[in-house]
Chains A and B, each alone.
Chain A
Amino acid sequence: MSDVLLKVSDVSVTIPTEQGTVHAVDNATFSINKHEVFSLIGESGSGKSILGQAIMRLLPLNAMFSGKVELGGMEISALSEKEMQKVRGKIVSSIAQNPYLAMNPGIRVGTQVAEPMQAHLGMSKEDAKSRTCQALKYFDITPPEVREREYPFQYSGGMLQRAMVAMGTAANPELIIADEPTKGVDVLKKRNIAAIFQKVASKGCAFLLITHDVGFARAMSDRIAVNYCGQIIEIAEKEPFFKEPLHPYSQALLDAVPERGMHPIPGPSPSMIEVPEGCRFHPRCPNKADRCLKNPPVVEINGRCVRCWMYA
């Protein structure tokens, strides 16, 4: 298939800690097409951000990576750090989960937003500055000429989040990895973000959207992947997924939304160090049987993938 943009094959990440090895990502395999918005939802602490960092090659220094990441046919997981620097920002851009950590507190916001445009699009300082003001204005950070000169601590939480989105989309990359782009953003401005993502996507940019906001994922994406305890347990087109999630975890997750009364999934979240044997969801699964103590296969049904014995 020629329109595959990102191909992730058998990517695993482990991180050693004092208490043992964290199995943050286990054999992640999926691909994202050009123009596609692919959302990754799922349990907090299940390795979504680490997977995004693995694709960007921005993992913690002590993390162990295995597997293969290809972008437009180029194996970016095999590039040297120097070559990767060129790719980053130009081809893949990331919008990190914590704007307070990702933004440099000592540099004006405008300068930080302009940086990728100067570095990767070769824009002059003045051009980048006027583009920055446009971008800030677009995200409702007004008046842009004043806001551009302010420092991150002068922004409210949601404003900084939007400035991050402006920075991530500035240099027209081919793939944007957005980790919680709408965290702390109000509904009106969330739609601005949705609108600009859609606009950027229509120009041919693909998105890997990591989010807890089920409504946003539903409005934005073409396909959805669900992560649980380091594994992708379901991948499906958006419509069929929301109509009928197949994996018991997906079902339980969608049942926990506020509209349905906020019912948490019973039982504790699994350890990421001593991961449950067999199906990782089995200790909490209402449909578990003896076979679930063995690793479930990834089953393909009607173009959907689900990792569960019920469908084997």
Chain B
Amino acid sequence: MLKADNLHYVYTSGLIKTVKKTAVCGVDLEFFPGETVAVVGESGCGKSTLAKMLVQQLAPVSGEVFFNGTKLTGMSWKNLRKFMGKIQLIPQNPDDVVDPRWTVEKSVAEPFVICGGFSREEISANVDALFAEVGLSAEHKTRYPHELSGGELQRIVIARALALKPELLVCDEATSMLDVSVQAFIVTMLKEIQIKRGLSLVFITHDLEAAKAVSDRVLVMYEGEIVEEGTNVFDRPLHPYTRALLDAARYMSLEVLVPEEIGELPYGFSGCSYYRLCRERTDACKKPQKLQDVSGRLVRCWKSK
């Protein structure tokens, strides 16, 4: 249903001395109706940037995004609007969407107002239902964002994203401020909607256990690239990076085993992006690595074959 081709994003910052930072580099992906995909990878690897490009909050430097065959990238704001209800992002930072000067009730009602065609009674009934859906009650409605706990505010953002019955929901760390029980409650609720309406769910998360528990398919990102993709990734990781990530999670309380890091790579190094830290590197890894199909799994490492 949602398809992305060769997405790239580069941040440029600094007024006098411009610094360029490639955040996403050649990502191809496709999401299907009714499936749950987890996107994992270390901090700064470009997950949020990718998510923002998928929902058209950022225009990619190059590459295209299609929704049910329609090309979204480069579309005018006016035409894009009717798709925006269908693809929703729950951003990592709640303050990106809730206005601090508005009561949270107003923030949740906003999508209905923007979309138009709802009477005041309908909006208020819908808002009440959404509050109940995410486990909040009337006592939270008239508050301002700073008057809610971290987890309550996060649920406001979830409620808002569900307002227009999206077909694809991208959750960027959407449950990171919730206790495990409320987290389970939210996931169960989303899964029910998925069964009812065929909603596609994308969870961007650092909680690998949760990713494993909820997802049908996993994408592993490293330095802006997808390095591994497939089912049962956590049971049988093939890429050295995925293995390192899982080891780190498993032995939380133990000393970290960081491989010996080699110094700066030569300028213009085009080999494997994980070369610097990989424990299994050889000279062959200095060549560019492509995603290879290893019995249904995609892995960006020649050794996995």
Chain B proximity of A162: nearest CB distance (Å)? 8
Cα–Cα, bound, A191→B41 (Å): 15
Chain B proximity mask over A16-50: 1 for CB below 8 Å, otherwise 0: 01111010000000000000000001111100111
Tell me the chain B residues, 222-266 only, with Cβ under 8 Å from chain A: 244-245, 248-249, 252-253, 256
Asked whether A17 lies within 8 Å of B177 as measured between CB atoms, the reply is no
Cα–Cα, bound, A49→B181 (Å): 18
Asked whether B138 lies within 8 Å of A19 as measured between CB atoms, the reply is yes
Interface assignment of B139: CB less than 8 Å from any CB of chain A: yes
Cα–Cα, bound, A196→B236 (Å): 32
A191-B182 contact given A158-B43, A158-B44, A261-B213, CB 8 Å threshold: no
Of B146, B188, B213, which one neighbours A258 at CB under 8 angstroms? B213
A residues in contact with B148, CB < 8 Å: 45
Interface assignment of A134: CB less than 8 Å from any CB of chain B: no
Asked whether B92 lies within 8 Å of A157 as measured between CB atoms, the reply is yes
Interface assignment of A273: CB less than 8 Å from any CB of chain B: yes
Asked whether A216 lies within 8 Å of B42 as measured between CB atoms, the reply is no
Cα–Cα, bound, A3→B137 (Å): 43
Interface assignment of B209: CB less than 8 Å from any CB of chain A: yes
Q: Which of B147, B149, B178, B214 is most buried by chain A, counting CB atoms within 10 A of its CB? A: B149
Asked whether A269 lies within 8 Å of B135 as measured between CB atoms, the reply is yes
Closest to B175 in A: A212
A residues in contact with B99, CB < 8 Å: none
Asked whether B184 lies within 8 Å of A263 as measured between CB atoms, the reply is yes
Tell me the chain B residues, 145-188 only, with Cβ under 8 Å from chain A: 146-152, 173, 176-185, 187-188
Known: A183-B177, A184-B173. 16 other contacts (CB 8 A): A17-B147, A22-B139, A101-B95, A156-B44, A156-B48, A158-B206, A187-B245, A187-B248, A187-B249, A187-B252, A188-B245, A188-B248, A195-B256, A214-B180, A264-B181, A271-B137
Cα–Cα, bound, A191→B255 (Å): 8
B residues in contact with A83, CB < 8 Å: none
B residues in contact with A259, CB < 8 Å: 209, 213
Cα–Cα, bound, A79→B20 (Å): 49
Of B42, B180, B183, which one neighbours A186 at CB under 8 angstroms? B42
Of B149, B208, B249, which one neighbours A44 at CB under 8 angstroms? B149
Chain B proximity of A129: nearest CB distance (Å)? 19
Classify the interface of chain A: helix, strand, loop or mixed.
mixed
Asked whether B42 lies within 8 Å of A189 as measured between CB atoms, the reply is yes
A212-B177 contact given A49-B150, A146-B19, A187-B206, CB 8 Å threshold: yes
Asked whether B150 lies within 8 Å of A157 as measured between CB atoms, the reply is no
Interface assignment of B143: CB less than 8 Å from any CB of chain A: yes
Asked whether B139 lies within 8 Å of A184 as measured between CB atoms, the reply is no
Chain A proximity mask over B175-209: 1 for CB below 8 Å, otherwise 0: 01111111111011000000000000000001111
A-B contact pairs, 30 of them (CB 8 A): A17-B147, A19-B138, A19-B139, A44-B152, A44-B177, A60-B146, A98-B95, A100-B93, A154-B11, A157-B173, A180-B150, A180-B176, A180-B177, A183-B173, A184-B92, A184-B206, A186-B43, A187-B248, A191-B248, A194-B252, A194-B253, A212-B176, A212-B179, A253-B181, A258-B214, A261-B213, A262-B188, A264-B188, A271-B137, A271-B139
Interface assignment of A137: CB less than 8 Å from any CB of chain B: no
Chain B proximity of A181: nearest CB distance (Å)? 12
B residues in contact with A150, CB < 8 Å: 13
Closest to A213 in B: B207
Interface assignment of A64: CB less than 8 Å from any CB of chain B: no
List chain A positions with a Cβ less than 8 A from chain B.
15, 17-20, 22, 41-45, 48-50, 60, 97-98, 100-101, 146, 150, 154, 156-159, 162, 179-180, 183-192, 194-195, 212, 214-216, 218-219, 252-253, 256-259, 261-265, 268-269, 271-273
Closest to B42 in A: A186
B residues in contact with A97, CB < 8 Å: 150, 177
Asked whether A190 lies within 8 Å of B252 as measured between CB atoms, the reply is yes
Of B11, B13, B95, B184, which one neighbours A264 at CB under 8 angstroms? B184
A188-B179 contact given A60-B147, A150-B13, CB 8 Å threshold: no
Asked whether A154 lies within 8 Å of B13 as measured between CB atoms, the reply is yes
Chain B proximity of A193: nearest CB distance (Å)? 11
